[in-house]
Amino acid sequence: MGSFNDFLDYLQVKRRYSERTVRLYGDAVRDFLKHVYPEKLMVNSGAGVRAERLMVNSGAGVRAERLAVNSGAGVRAERPAVNPGTFEEGALGDGAFEGSRDAEFPGFSDEEVLEALRFPLIRGYVASLLDRNLDARTVNLHLSALSTFCNYLVKQGKLHSNPVKEIVRPKEKKRLPSFYTPDILEKYFESPPDIESAGTADNSGKPASAKTVYCAVRNRLIVALLFGTGLRRAEAASLRTGDIDLSRKTINIIGKGNKQRMIPLPDSLCQEIEDYLLLRDEFISEVCSSGALARSGGQSGEEKVFLPDAGGRPGTDAFFLTDSGKPVYLEFLNRVVKSELSGIEGISGRKTPHTLRHSYATALLNNGADLNSIKEVLGHSSLAATEVYTHNSFEKLKEIYKTAHPRAKE
């Protein structure tokens, strides 16, 4: 179906969705079509690949698995089990539709796809998602993706109306964002960086290497920046040195939908960044030296590293670097935050970059910032997304009540 690729282009170019979001929307539409046409075999005559649906009795019940069978090589690849309650890549289903960004719908005509987009079939799809034990939020994400596809087809004149609008969506449970209080985080910032555990421990009594010192200061700054600016994890990972203006004490962020915003930096954070950049330069010099050895066949087993150059090519100006000199990635930030906050008294539960973002927003609200200002610095597209933090001020409300209400003083 040619409209599908056009739809993905529309999401990426017109709506300016991220590449990951585009993939998830595509997977959701494919998952719906697999539900409507469960017995339809996908045959690629050129590659000799066919998809078979096998029913496997696991003892606890019957589970459905898709096996991709390469008849030429006799290779069978089993997809991993779906993790209920998630909307991550690959969690939308386990079928032959999964593929590249530009994959069409093999074996489906425009007429078949349009025929599938009817109220009874979509309602049945919702029931099947709930039967998979997916939570209400995940089901609604599936429906949002499908609704966006229908709206696109309506605009193109291929569909008369959007049938997803008639579907009663499952009610989501309101989840309170978890956060850390400033006084608890202050305990973390008051302790010195753990230089030994940040890099390779050296008990020889020699001064710590530039790499070891850099890793410790970098880890500390990651936590400080996330809590001091409320950046999203992906925004912190894609941060470049040129995005930070220490003279103006601001940080320039390109967030979701390529929306640009500027966030003020406190004086203390500016000083930490300035110190960090000096260590980063020393670390890069050390990494370049070891990388040159690796490239020229130096010491055996030495890891080949990413080498920044003077041309400013992609990745060379990444603000945060891994231990091997490469730009940080999302899971790396997760591990750093979890490691840094582990063992801190008063910090329990989830230790994630997003929890630090929640902590930032809650601290602003509790100290008198208005919702519109918080919305701007967080990069929210609507005020509704920011209002979730208002209930987190309840502890402050209780303190005001205790000091202001006459009955509370008794």
Domain CATH number, residue 395: 1.10.443.10
* Residue in 338, 367, 372 with CA at minimum distance from that of residue 355: 338
Regarding whether 229 and 126 lie in a shared domain, the answer is no
Question: By three-state DSSP, how is residue 130 classified?
Answer: helix
Question: By three-state DSSP, how is residue 110 classified?
Answer: helix
Regarding whether 254 and 155 lie in a shared domain, the answer is no
Does residue 261 lie within any of the structural domains? yes
How many CB atoms lie under 10 A from the CB of residue 50? 15
Which range of residues forms the domain containing residue 362? 182-400
CA distances in angstroms from 149 to 11, 32, 112, listed in the order given = 9, 11, 15
Q: Which of 17, 152, 214, 389 is catalytic?
A: 389
Catalytic residue flag (residue 295)? no
3 Cβ contact list (under 8 Å, min separation 6): 110, 113, 152, 153, 156, 158
Regarding whether 102 and 22 lie in a shared domain, the answer is yes
Regarding whether 211 and 331 lie in a shared domain, the answer is yes
Overall number of domains in the chain: 2
How many CB atoms lie under 10 A from the CB of residue 383? 11
Q: Which of 23, 358, 375, 380 is catalytic?
A: 380
Q: What is the pLDDT of residue 12?
A: 87
Q: What tokens were used for 370?
A: 């208005």
Contact assessment for residue 253 and residue 231, using Cβ atoms and an 8 Å cutoff: yes
Q: What is the pLDDT of residue 129?
A: 93
Query: Average pLDDT over the chain, rounded to whole?
Result: 74
Regarding whether 224 and 319 lie in a shared domain, the answer is yes
Regarding whether 365 and 254 lie in a shared domain, the answer is yes
* Residue in 394, 261, 227, 237 with CA at minimum distance from that of residue 330: 237
- Among 166, 195, 222, identify where a domain stops: 166
Regarding whether 118 and 223 lie in a shared domain, the answer is no
Catalytic residue flag (residue 16)? no
Q: Which of 40, 50, 79, 354 is catalytic?
A: 354
Does residue 223 lie within any of the structural domains? yes
Does residue 409 lie within any of the structural domains? no
Catalytic residue flag (residue 357)? yes
Residue 216 has pLDDT above 80, yes or no: yes
Question: By three-state DSSP, how is residue 42 classified?
Answer: coil
Residue 49 has, within 13 A of its CA and on its CB side, a CA count of 11
Does residue 176 lie within any of the structural domains? no
Q: Find which of 38-47, 87-96, 289-298 is predicted with most confidence, using mean pLDDT.
A: 38-47
Regarding whether 204 and 139 lie in a shared domain, the answer is no
36 Cβ contact list (under 8 Å, min separation 6): 116, 121, 125
Does residue 35 lie within any of the structural domains? yes
Does residue 173 lie within any of the structural domains? no
Catalytic residue flag (residue 137)? no
Q: What is the pLDDT of residue 107?
A: 55
Tell me the residue length of the chain.
410
- Among 136, 166, 196, identify where a domain stops: 166
Q: Which of 357, 358, 360, 375 is catalytic?
A: 357
Q: Which helix (H) or strand (E) holds 156?
A: none
Q: Are strands 244-245 and 250-254 parallel, antiparallel or unpaired?
A: antiparallel
Q: Which of 232, 240, 249, 261 is catalytic?
A: 232
Regarding whether 149 and 240 lie in a shared domain, the answer is no
Catalytic residue flag (residue 35)? no
Regarding whether 220 and 154 lie in a shared domain, the answer is no
Distance CA 237, CA 330 (A): 6
- Among 102, 137, 166, identify where a domain stops: 166
pTM of the predicted model as reported, rounded to 2 decimal places: 0.61
Regarding whether 190 and 44 lie in a shared domain, the answer is no
Residue 258 has pLDDT above 60, yes or no: yes
Distance CA 287, CA 309 (A): 12
- Grade residue 401 by pLDDT with cuts at 50, 70 and 90: low
Summarize pLDDT for 312-331 with one digit per residue, the tens: 333 468 999 999 888 999 99
Residue 87 has pLDDT above 60, yes or no: no
Q: What is the dihedral angle through the alpha carbons of 140, 143, 149, 155, rounded to the nearest 10 degrees?
A: -90
Dihedral sign of CA atoms 65, 70, 76, 77 in order: negative
Q: Which of 249, 256, 261, 326 is catalytic?
A: 256
Regarding whether 337 and 243 lie in a shared domain, the answer is yes
Does residue 100 lie within any of the structural domains? yes
DSSP per-residue letters across 281-348: HHHHHHHHHHHHHHHTT-STTPPP-----TT--TTTTBSSB-TTSSBP-HHHHHHHHHHHHTT-TT--
Q: What is the pLDDT of residue 196?
A: 58
Residue 244 has pLDDT above 80, yes or no: yes
Distance CA 1, CA 106 (A): 8
Angle of helix 119-131 versus helix 19-36 axis, rounded to 10: 100
Catalytic residue flag (residue 25)? no
Least confident of 40-54, 109-123, 152-166: 40-54
Q: Find which of 201-205, 208-212, 280-284, 301-305 is predicted with most confidence, using mean pLDDT.
A: 280-284
Does residue 174 lie within any of the structural domains? no
End-to-end CA distance of the chain: 72
